Structure 1
Amino acid sequence: MQALLSSCLLFAFIARGTALQCEICMGLGHNCTGRLETCPADHNFCGTTLFESKHAEISVHGIIKNCIPSNVCANGSSDINLGEKGRSRTHVFCCQGDACNAATAARFMPSEARPNGLQCPACYASLDDSCSDADMVDCVGSEFQCIDLAGYVHLDDESSQRIAMKGCATESVCSASVGGAATFSGVSSAITKLECTPASSTASVSLGPPGLLLSAVVGFLLVKL
């Protein structure tokens, strides 16, 4: 019995020793620091997610470090382009190894701003569930989708605000789910509507599992507040 107990304790120690640990934090800017936490079994990467949102001369940068599953790493980045009404992009950097996301601050690569020949209707509205197609925006880079998105923002002072937007987006934006929610720096957001159509046609609607859209939405809304 004692030998069996010793074996169980040894296996438990080995299992605990091989579990991945990542730095966990979030904040505005390009870096944050936090405590190390043991990741769930299905989260086998440490991640650093950066987002930036711009509107006119105002810009917001944010960072989240946490444990993430491999499918989030596969999504890569999410971009939303509303033309003159604003732009938001999010990118996740993945690494393997204890605290590998704590070493240095990640940085965005230069934005790919060359038009790809596609266009989408673009608009933004607050205090509403929809917005009118005020103008057309030129899609750039890998923005091959037109999005029609609505949701709400809830502030830590318990006030809420509805938002709606249309514009160009990358494929990974369309992998978010209606009903998904996220919180950052006292601001939470949730998606109530998300429709994607190829920028070259109006033939299909695409919905899927959670992706990086919520970080992009929260960042974009921080600019608008």
Structure 2
Amino acid sequence: MAWSSSLKSLLTVFVFINLAVSSVESYQCTVYPCETEPCADCETTKGCFNQIQRFDTPSSLTDGTFKQKGCIADSNTCSSLSISVTLGDQRTFTYTNSCCTTEKCNQGDLTLPTPSSTPNGVECPACYNEKANLCSSVTTLKCTGEEKKCIEVSGRGVGASNLVIYGKGCATENSCNLDMTVLGRIQIKTACSSPPSNHGHPTAKFVSSFLIFLLPLKFLL
């Protein structure tokens, strides 16, 4: 009787798990871009993603906007993320990724927020290079808006591309410590640091030394 009872319990658990799995309904997501228009929808039980990226340069001829939509693969997870980075040589990069879990919830286009031009008091080393993973010259960039971290970005082209980029500048905090593909063809890694302290500035050192010099005089007067 005990063996029969165990078999019944195992069968009950199996049926319950099977019903739970089969009850997960699939739905369709909008796909973009695709090779032929109109794009065919994809089917998933994991969710849809909607993504927009923009790279701005001093010349509108080299600006670029990249949009991508589709289904989240079974082996992947989706994280909603918005980042903003300003590098040297007037290069800015903005990125927004959104996740959702209903029928064609990614059909509409996302919009990127307009970067703030209000200085926030933070200054970071800045440069940009598309030939090597280093900069021969570095300037100082006054950060704006929510870009309060100093960032270092290195990237390489995906696949057979020999593209290399390297830059420093200002960034929002959620732009830090990323390893991801951007603009459909560049694998980047980012690292952030706190803004340089004024303690190392020559003026700060002079003031500190002057105060130390005055301290003994206080006791002599």
TM-score by length of structure 2 reads 0.66
Question: Partner residue of 2:84?
Answer: 79
Two-structure CA RMSD over aligned residues (Å): 3.2
Instruction: Note if 1:172 corresponds to 2:174.
Output: yes
- Distance in 2 separating the partners of 1:124 and 1:84: 6
Question: Partner residue of 2:131?
Answer: 127
Q: 1:85 is matched by which residue type in structure 2? A: Q
Among 147, 151, 154, the alignment partner of 1:150 is 154
Q: Give the drift of 1:143.
A: 0.9
Question: Partner residue of 1:205?
Answer: none
Question: Partner residue of 1:221?
Answer: none
Q: Give the drift of 1:190.
A: 2.3
Summarize the Cα distance change of 1:34–1:81 in structure 2 as closer, same or farther, 3 Å threshold.
same
Summarize the Cα distance change of 1:37–1:136 in structure 2 as closer, same or farther, 3 Å threshold.
same
Among 187, 192, 195, the alignment partner of 1:190 is 187
Question: Percent same amino acid at aligned positions?
Answer: 24
1:82-161 to structure 2, matched below 5 A, reads: 82-102=87-107, 104-154=108-158, 158-161=160-163
Count of aligned pairs: 177
- Distance in 2 separating the partners of 1:80 and 1:98: 33
Summarize the Cα distance change of 1:126–1:108 in structure 2 as closer, same or farther, 3 Å threshold.
closer
Q: Give the drift of 1:199.
A: 2.5
In structure 2, the residue corresponding to 1:99 is in which secondary structure?
coil
Q: Give the drift of 1:12.
A: 8.4
Summarize the Cα distance change of 1:119–1:182 in structure 2 as closer, same or farther, 3 Å threshold.
closer
Q: Is the 8 A contact 1:85 1:123 kept in 2?
A: no
* Structure number, greater radius of gyration: 2
Q: Give the drift of 1:70.
A: 7.0
TM-score by length of structure 1 reads 0.65
Q: 1:93 is matched by which residue type in structure 2? A: S
Summarize the Cα distance change of 1:200–1:98 in structure 2 as closer, same or farther, 3 Å threshold.
farther
